[in-house]
Structure formats: structure tokens, C-alpha cells
A and B are shown apart, each in its own frame.
Chain A
Amino acid sequence: MRVVVADDAVLLREGLIRLLTEQGHEVVAAVGDGPSFVHAALTHNPDISIVDVRMPPSHTDEGLRAAVAVRAARPGTPILVLSQYVEVSYADDLLATVRSGGTTGARGAIGYLLKDRVADIAEFLETLERVAAGGTVLDPEVVAQLLVRRGARDPLEALTTREREVLALMAEGRTNTAIARQLVVSEGAVEKHVRNIFTKLALPPDEELNRRVLAVLAYLRT
């Protein structure tokens, strides 16, 4: 894949470039601030971009705003946002660009992860592929916050512990296969849990993965 990397920390940026190159990807641009990223993403039209949230010039949520800007200029551009911290309100900003995608339908092509997750190389590379293919990937910590945020008034109370686990993994954007592997159960069991969850939450059942993720997220965010 052709990749744009944006991170002002040279150490990590070089690490990422090395990792991606070793895996046979091509890094077409490596930049260190928000405006350069917007420019690079729109010029090179990469298969995926990896962006750090905190970057110059503002040293606040520069990367996040740049990602939102790129997605506004070119809806559906696949972007994976990395950060030392994950916050629900940042995830909200990113997911908002999915809804405004309009014609792209159930295409998410957005990911939001803690930087640490890169250390799990295999998982990280798989995430890249998923986002590039239009998937939606959220960090488990964001999903946990989404679940807590709902507090007491809760149809989620009706779910069993196992169903909650499955719901969380769905919200992270995982496939049934991945969920089954993670929970060490059969895929059939996962499918059954998923059906139960959708019934209990009164969501329309959907076999297509990305539509399912977005439906679950939309549910959790309201």
C-alpha cells in the first residue's frame, strides 16, 4: 500500500517507516505537522494515512483536525489516527466524518488507536488493511469509555457479560472470526451472541461488517 505518515516525533516516525517498508508497503510522504499532512494526503492520495494527534504548530489536537479537514475535502479517505491518549470526544469528531460521507454508504475508512497498539505488529498491520478497505476501527479504551458513559439508564443492562464483551469487540470494528479468536469460542457461538445483542438492543440485524460496526457505534454514542 502507499502510505502517508504524519508524526512530529522523528523516533516513532522512523520506526513506523521502517516497519511499513519491511512489510512491503511504500511510504510516499513522511511529514511532521498538521498543514503538511493535509497537503500530503491530498497530493499523494495514499491508500492509507497514519496521523499522530498532537503535532505542531498548535501542539494540541492538530492531527485530529487535519484528519477531519482531509476527510471533509475528500470524503472516505482512509485515515488511521494514533495518539498517546484516546478520548471519546475525539472519536466523535472522527466518526462524524463518516456520517457526512454520504455517497460512500457504509464506508468508514477511519481508525482511532492508542499509539501503543503499534507494538502488536501483526494486529497493527491487520488494522491498517481493514481501515484501508473501508473498515472502522476503534481503540478498546474508547469503546470502554463509550460503555461506561451510558451509565445507569441502560438497555445494556439486559446483556449478559459475554454479550457485553462481544458488543465491545464489535464496536472496536472486529470481524466475527476475530471475536471468536479473541474470546476463544466458536464462530457459531459469536454469531448467536451477535443476534441476541441486536435483538435486545432493537437494532436491525446486519450481516455486512462495516454497517454493523457503524450501527453499534451509533447506538453507543446516543
Chain B
Amino acid sequence: MPTARPPTVKDMTAITAPVTPASPATPATPEGHGGARMLRQLGVDTAYVLLGFPLAIIVFVLLVTGLSLGAGLLITLLGLPVLVATLFVARGFAEVERARMPAVLRQDRVGARYKTAGPDAGRWRRLLTPLTDLQAWLDVLHGIVRFPVSTATFSVVVTWWAAALGGLTYALWDWALPHSPDNSELPELLGFQDTAAVRITFYLAVGVVFAVTLPFVVRACALLEAWLAHAMLTGVASLRDQVAGLTSRAATAQAQTASAVSAEATALRRLERDIHDGPQQRLVRLSVDLGRAQQQIARDPEAARRTVDEALGQAREALDELRTLSRGIAPPILTDRGLTAAIAALAARNTVPVTLDLPELGRLNPLVEQTAYYTVAETLANVAKHSHARRCTVTVHVIDDRLNVWIADDGVGGAHLAKGHGLAGLTDRLHAAGGRLQVSSPAGGPTHVHAELPGQTEP
């Protein structure tokens, strides 16, 4: 989650939890310029393949022995513990592979999950659980399959290194070789003359070709081995991780919906109360006044005129209140002209002077527009009501495709997100739109409010 913001609000404390705590895979790539990085990777890959081969032999031998022994003894039941022990051997080596993989694959380490019997499981249950674990058998399968693969990659890597090093240094030890006439050198077989100069040039050329291709060939070998290990040893785990990720995303969405419902319920209750206390009362009073005027008109036209005047006043007040209310529900300027115009209009109406830093945002997702608008509206209303501020600023920027809104004032501070305070509803609103709200408002001020929203533009 990007947390870019101006320095003035650095000391904010996050009040709401981030919505999507996705930890992106940090590449294990060491920083550095191309050449050094390539050399380092060559070292890593070479070590990986060279060490992999002896490991593969040991694993292969142990597993084949264990499997045959266990299978052979199965009818005596003694085979079962042998098989389980074999599974654990495979698992141990699999763990080693999982630890070795990340350097080659430049990925985060993925651990595997194994089935474990419950704490109250019986002895047999405990013994047999590993036998029913798909990952355990995949470990075994990998231990066997890796042997031929490792043999091949090991041979290729050793050959390439030998050819590269041997070819490049051939000039240094050509003299030490016996060059008897019955010996046929490779250049000679290819039709060149058998002189030291030709041999040195030829082998040097061969060495250069191998040396240049060395990093790529070794990388390919290492990757082949590592991807095989990755697929068989962590495939199940990463699949499970993906499922877990989806589940948590679903949970987040659910929480968002809950926030939305709660925000909406609160807003509706408030709306009902506002209508009841405001325009409804006025209209009742208006009809009472008009009724009185009807009575008065014959008796005392002058009194009737005064009553009608009052009634007109009531009607005007009712209209004012209704306008304020519907502006609170869905401000027409926001629908008509988008967030930039709507925030400018808000600032124009605010009693505390507002300085705007507001780019032309174009049309955004309606929910984002509405939420950002309410954030500014509510916060400015709070500034006007409680802060005793002399001026405030509203700053809007899109950073990393997220809409950031900062509202700062020079007032007395003490704004709270706690229930019952004006800002509490905002937290729900922002949450519902997939955003979050941060408030810093120490007693004595100043107050900074930062709202962040997903800012996808309207398609």
C-alpha cells in the first residue's frame, strides 16, 4: 500500500487497518550493475547445480532403498514405519531444496504445509497421517525424478566450465602435453595443421565460445532443476496460498459491504431525523398558518395578510432545509460536473477560507467521487463548526492510481474518529469504498485529515 503524502502529515497514526494487506513478492535480485550481477548469478547457479548432483545421488539411493524395503515388508506391517521413515527422509531433503531454490528463482521462499494428525489422534493415526499427504509423496517423487535431471544438468555444467576454463588457459599448458605423432588432435582431425599456434588459437576460440555461453547454459540448467523442484515441492503450497489469498480478499469485500451497509444505515437514520426535525415541521406549521389565514380572511384581512407572510417565510425555510438535505444525499454539481467542480463549490460555500490545490480530475468511479466529496464536505463542516481555524487547505492528488485527499487547518485540534464524533461515519464510508482515513489532531492543533481511495477513472 503506497503511503506517499506530504511531509506535514508524516506523524499521522494509522487509525484504520489497510484494506488489502497483500505483501508483494520481493525479488531476491541483488542490486548492482549488469556484469557483476551476472557473475554473481553464475556463481549461485553453478553452486546450485554442482551441489544438487551429490544430493540427488544420496536422495535417490535412500529413497529407492527405503521404498523397496518398505513395499517389500508391507505384508508384515513392518513396512509401514519404513515407508513413513522414507517419507520423512524425502521431506528433509525437500526442505533443503526449498531453502536452495529462492536464490536461483529470485523469489520469496515458499514453505510447504504438511498434514499433521490432530493432538488427540491415536498412535496409528499419527503414524499413518504422512502416508495420506499428497505433498509427502510429491517430495518422494521429486527425490527420484531429480536424479536423471540432476545428472544431465551436472554433466552439462561441468562440461561447459571445463571447456571454458580449459580453452581459455590452454596456452599455459600446451607444452605439458605429449604430442606424439600417433595422437590425433581435434584441429588435426578437422584438417588443420598440428602446430602449437594452431592448437592454441583453436582451443582459445573454443574456450571463448564456451565462456560466453556459460552463464546462459548454467542458468538454464539451474532453472530447469529449480523449476522442477518448485513445481513439485511448493506447487501445492502456493496453490493453497492462492486460495487463502482469494478467501481473504472475499473477507475484505465482505467487510467493505458491512461498512457500506453500516454507513448507509447511519446516513438513512440521520436523513430521516433531519427531515423530521426540519422541513416536515415547517410544512406542518405552514399548513397550520394557511388554515389560520383562511379563518382570518373574512374577519380580519390585515391579520390574514400577516399570517400569509409568515407562511411564506416558513415555506422558504423549508425549501432551504430541503436543499441542504438533498445536497447532502447527492449533490447535483457532483453528478453534473464531477469531483473537481464539486470540491471547488464546497470550498466556495465554506465559512473558513479554503485554499485549494486541486487538479482537473476528470470523471472518476461514481463511488469514489461521492466518497471523496463527502470526506471533504464533512471535514470542512467540522472545520467550520469546531476547529476555530482561520484558514484551511484542501489538497487532492492522484498517486499510484489512488486518489489522495488531504485537508489541513490551523485550528485547535482534538478531532476524533471515535463513535459519536463527526468523523466516525467517514471511516465507514471510506472503508466501504475500499479506502482509508487517517486523522492527526493533537489537542491545540493543527488537524490533518488524509483520505486515500482507489482512484480508477471511469472507463
Contact = CB atoms under 8 A, between A and B. Distances in A.
A146 B348 CA distance: 7
A116 B316 contact: yes
A60 interface: yes
B312 A149 contact: no
Interface in A114-140: 115-116, 119
Contacts of B319: 115-116
Contacts of A116: 316, 319-320
A90 B348 CA distance: 13
Nearest to B322: A84
B44 interface: no
Nearest to B351: A148
Interface string B338-371: 0001001101111101110000000000000000
Interface string A38-76: 000000000000000010000011000000000000000
Given A89-B341, A89-B345, A119-B312, A61 B336 contact: yes
A85 interface: yes
A161 B105 CA distance: 74
In this complex, the interface size class of chain A, counting residues with CB under 8 Å from chain B, is: 10 to 19
A204 interface: no
A151 interface: yes
Contact of A88 (B316, B348, B353): B348
A146 B347 CA distance: 11
B266 to A, nearest CB: 25
Nearest to A90: B333
A17 B353 CA distance: 42
B131 to A, nearest CB: 68
A163 interface: no
In this complex, the interface size class of chain B, counting residues with CB under 8 Å from chain A, is: 20 to 34
Contact of A60 (B323, B332, B347, B350): B332
B315 interface: yes
Main secondary structure of the interface of B (DSSP, over half): helix
B348 A145 contact: yes
B348 A85 contact: no
Nearest to A54: B332
B100 interface: no
Contact of A149 (B316, B336, B347): B347
A85 B337 contact: no
B179 interface: no
A174 B384 CA distance: 31
Interface string A80-99: 00001101111000000000
Which of A54, A60, A87, A148 has the largest number of chain B CB atoms within 10 A?
Answer: A87
A151 B354 contact: yes
A85 B354 contact: no
A120 B355 CA distance: 36
Contacts of A145: 345, 348-349
A119 B320 CA distance: 13
A152 interface: yes
Interface string A190-209: 00000000000000000000
A85 B316 contact: no
B347 A85 contact: no
Nearest to A147: B348
Nearest to A64: B336
A151 B355 CA distance: 8
B350 A148 contact: yes
A104 B28 CA distance: 72
B335 interface: yes
B315 A119 contact: yes
A90 to B, nearest CB: 8
A38 to B, nearest CB: 18
25 contacts: A54-B332, A60-B332, A61-B336, A84-B326, A84-B332, A85-B323, A85-B327, A85-B333, A87-B333, A87-B341, A88-B344, A88-B348, A89-B333, A89-B337, A89-B344, A115-B319, A116-B319, A119-B312, A119-B315, A119-B316, A148-B348, A148-B351, A151-B353, A151-B354, A152-B355
Please provide the 10 A-B residue pairs with the shortest distance between their CB atoms, ordered closest to farther: A145-B348, A60-B336, A151-B353, A149-B348, A61-B336, A116-B319, A87-B333, A89-B341, A87-B345, A152-B353
Given A61-B332, A85-B332, 20 more contacts: A84-B323, A84-B326, A84-B332, A85-B323, A85-B333, A87-B341, A88-B345, A88-B348, A89-B344, A115-B319, A116-B316, A116-B319, A116-B320, A145-B348, A145-B349, A146-B348, A148-B350, A148-B351, A152-B353, A152-B391
